[in-house]
Amino acid sequence: MNVLSPFITPLIRYKPCQYDVLVDDKFELDDFGFNACIIHTPGHTIGSMSVVIDDEVAIVGDTMFGIFSGSAFPPYADDIKEMLTSWGKLLETNCSVFIPGHGSANSRSLVQKDYDKRRKYHHNAG
């Protein structure tokens, strides 16, 4: 469980937007002329998405952060185990760079190291 969740969640009130396309797991963008896809990467929030471009770069939004030295983990996650599953999906790509919504880009080696450490901890804790 995220320590901040009980305090932050009641403060966030918004009207959900209507979607144009529903993505269950992966949505290819080649029909639109892009060598890219959108993948569902929940954990930070239930609807988090990432865009993988040329299987080299991933725009990950709040699925990762780039502001903490030695870590890509965001300060808030609705579901940490789901977040780690999403990181696993991102690491299954050939991406070497992960661009978060906050801070600097994360290298594959940083994400892999952080993923391995947190996955071991949360596997043993659960």
Where do we find the tokens 């080299």?
A: 56
Q: Which H, E and C letters describe 9-57, residue by residue? A: HHHCCCCCCCCCCCCCCEEECHHHCCCEEEEECCCCCCCCEEEEECCCE
Domain 22-125 fold is Metallo-beta-lactamase; Chain A (3.60.15)
For residues 97-120, average pLDDT = 95
Domain spans of the chain, in order of start: 22-125
Question: For the chain, what is the mean pLDDT?
Answer: 88
In the prediction, which pLDDT does 125 show? 47
> Using one digit for the tens of pLDDT, what is the confidence trace for 20-66?
877 888 999 999 999 999 999 999 988 899 999 999 999 999 999 99
pTM of the model: 0.82
